[in-house]
């Protein structure tokens, strides 16, 4: 009888622990929503204008997931953590523009005072050589 009771307790604790992990990952602290009015590129992938949800995995903070649920689009992006200036007061996205092409450059998640810089893709480096650009405000 003791073995069976201990087994049930162990299984219950395991389910409680595993069940809480997705809740932490879906916490609003790690989710940001943006309406982007133009198409842009991330990791060499062209994404259409639309509403995007950006999630940060608390277990691997350098990984961001960019989703457009309306169009069933998602992209995982490796980033480098950096600190935005103290003047920033809200989450925002920073883009680089070369001619008509926009490249996502940085995600600022000011809940934690953190920013996430994206590594330039091969397509962006090529565009930069042709048309030097600057970040959009």
Let me know if residue 15 belongs to a domain: no
Q: What was the pLDDT predicted at 30?
A: 72
Identify which has the larger pLDDT, 29 or 54.
54
Q: What was the pLDDT predicted at 129?
A: 80
Let me know if residue 120 belongs to a domain: yes
Helices (H), the chain: 2-25, 122-130
pLDDT in tens, 11-24: 655 454 554 444 44
Q: How many domains does the chain have?
A: 1
pLDDT in tens, 84-124: 666 666 788 999 988 889 999 998 876 656 788 898 888 88
Structure-block tokens of residue 116: 């996430």
Q: Residue 79's domain spans which residues?
A: 28-135
User: Can you list the positions of beta strands (E) in the chain?
Assistant: 31-36, 40-42, 45-47, 50-57, 60-68, 73-82, 92-98, 101-109, 114-118, 134-135
Q: Say yes or no to pLDDT of 31 above 70.
A: yes
Specify the pTM.
Answer: 0.70
Let me know if residue 9 belongs to a domain: no
Q: What was the pLDDT predicted at 51?
A: 96
Q: For residue 61, how many C-alpha atoms fall within 13 Å in the half-sphere facing its CB?
A: 11
Distances (CA, A) of 20 to 57, 92, 94: 14, 29, 33
pLDDT in tens, 45-83: 999 999 999 998 778 878 899 999 998 999 999 898 877
Let me know if residue 11 belongs to a domain: no
């Amino acid at each position: 009888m003791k073995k069976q009771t201990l087994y049930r307790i162990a299984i219950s604790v395991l389910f409680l622990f595993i069940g809480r992990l997705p809740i932490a990952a879906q916490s609003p602290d790690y989710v940001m929503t943006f309406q982007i009015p133009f198409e842009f590129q991330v990791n060499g992938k062209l994404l259409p204008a639309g509403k995007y949800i950006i999630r940060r995995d608390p277990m691997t903070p350098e990984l961001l997931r960019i989703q457009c649920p309306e169009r069933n689009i998602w992209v995982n992006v490796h980033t480098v953590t950096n600190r935005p200036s103290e003047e920033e007061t809200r989450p925002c996205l920073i883009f680089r523009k070369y001619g008509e092409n926009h490249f996502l450059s940085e995600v600022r998640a000011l809940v934690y005072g953190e920013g996430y810089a994206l590594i330039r893709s091969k397509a962006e480096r090529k565009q930069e050589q042709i048309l030097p650009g600057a970040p959009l405000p």
